[in-house]
Amino acid sequence: MRVALAQTDCVLGDVESNLETARVAVKQAMAQDADLVVFPELSLHGYALGRMERDVSVPARDPRVVGLSELGPDVVVGLYEDGGLRRYNSAVYLSGGAVVHVHRKLYLPTYLTWEERKHFTPGQSMRAFDSRFGRMAALLCNDFWQPVLPWLAVQDGADALLVPTNSVMANHGTGLGNVDYWQDLLRFVARMQQSWVVFVNRVGIEEGTEFWGGSRVVDPMGSVLAQAPMGEPAVLVVDVDLAMARWVRRTLPLVTEARLGLVMREVQRLADEGGDL
C-alpha cells in the first residue's frame, strides 16, 4: 500500500477553498501512484472555529467531501462534522465515493489556550475498521496521547494507526515543546503496540498560532521511514506493508497477551471506586 501524507495548510472556515486544496493534493498523490491519502485534523475547516460567526460544519456524507475519493485513491479527511443536533471534530475515511468509517475525536483538550469542548461534542466509541488494504484505526491528535486508545485500536485488530493532527510549536505557557513530545510518542506507540503509525500534521499560521508539520510514517519496530519537512506544505508518499505488523507481533507477542478480562475487572473496580466515567 502506498500512503500519501498530505501536509496541508487551510483557510479558517472556507470549506470550498480547503476542498480545492485537498483535490490538488489528491491529484499530486495520484501522480505518485498513492493508494491512500491522509490529511490533517480539521483540514477542511481550520482549528479556531470559535472565531467563526456562523456554523460552517458539514455532514460526513456531504457530496463534496465524498467526491474527494472519486478521483482514485482512498482519502482520510478531517472536518467539523454536522451530526444533526451536535457537532464533532471528525476524521472520515472515504473510498470509491462512499464513507467507510467516521471517527469522532474522543478526548477534547480544554485547557491552556485550547477550547475544543466548547465547540465539539466528544465521540462515544473507538473502532478499528476494514479498508480495502487492511484493518486500520483513526485517532485524532489528543486521542493518540491517551495510552489506552492506541492499545484498544490494536486489540480491535488495527495494523495501522492513522493520526491526523493539528499540533502547534509549543504548549503555550508551559515551555514544553510539542515537537519533542510527538517524536518520542510516535516511536514509542509504534514499537509497543507493534503497529504502523501514519502521523499527518498541519502547517501554516492561523490566528497567531503556528503549526509545524513534520508528518511521518513509523514502522512497527519504531523506525521513522520517511518524514515531511517542517513548516511547509508537502505530499509525501511512503510504501507501507501492513503484513509487517503481524510478523512483528508473532515474533515478539507483546500485544497478543492483553488479558482483557483482567483489564476489564480492574477498570470496573476503579470506576466503582469513583473514577472518571
Please check whether residue 255 lies inside any domain of the structure: no
Mean local confidence (pLDDT), 212-241: 97
User: What contacts 24+ positions apart, CB below 8 Å, involve 260-264?
Assistant: 260/155
Please check whether residue 269 lies inside any domain of the structure: no
Domain holding 230, by residue range, is 2-250
C-beta neighbour count of 152 within 10 angstroms? 19
- The pLDDT of residue 50 is above 90: no
Please check whether residue 197 lies inside any domain of the structure: yes
| 53 to 49, 115, 166, 205: CA distances (angstroms) | 9, 16, 22, 20
Q: What is the pLDDT of residues 52-87, one digit of tens each?
A: 889 999 999 999 999 999 999 999 999 999 999 999
Mean local confidence (pLDDT), 104-118: 89
Task: Output the average pLDDT for the chain.
Answer: 95
3-state helix, strand, coil in the chain (%, to 5): 30, 30, 40
Mean local confidence (pLDDT), 40-45: 98
Please check whether residue 275 lies inside any domain of the structure: no
Q: Which pLDDT band, with edges at 50, 70 and 90, does 169 fall under?
A: confident
Q: Which pLDDT band, with edges at 50, 70 and 90, does 175 fall under?
A: low
Please check whether residue 272 lies inside any domain of the structure: no
* Percent of the chain residues past pLDDT 70, beyond the cut: 97
pTM above 0.85, yes or no: yes
Number of domains in the chain: 1
Q: Which pLDDT band, with edges at 50, 70 and 90, does 246 fall under?
A: very high
- The pLDDT of residue 114 is above 90: no
Please check whether residue 226 lies inside any domain of the structure: yes
Mean local confidence (pLDDT), 208-231: 96
Q: What is the pLDDT of residue 110?
A: 85
Whole-number Å distance between alpha carbons of 218 and 240: 10
- The pLDDT of residue 172 is above 60: no
Q: What is the pLDDT of residue 171?
A: 57
* Phi, psi of 244, deg, nearest 5: -60, -35
Please check whether residue 64 lies inside any domain of the structure: yes
CATH number at residue 184: 3.60.110.10
Q: What is the pLDDT of residue 225?
A: 97
| 150 to 139, 140, 194, 238: CA distances (angstroms) | 8, 11, 10, 22
Please state which of the ranges 32-46, 169-183, 233-247 shows the lowest mean pLDDT. 169-183
Q: What is the pLDDT of residue 113?
A: 74
For residue 138, what is the DSSP state? E
Q: What is the pLDDT of residue 272?
A: 93
Q: What is the pLDDT of residues 136-157, one digit of tens each?
A: 999 999 999 999 999 999 999 9
Please check whether residue 257 lies inside any domain of the structure: no
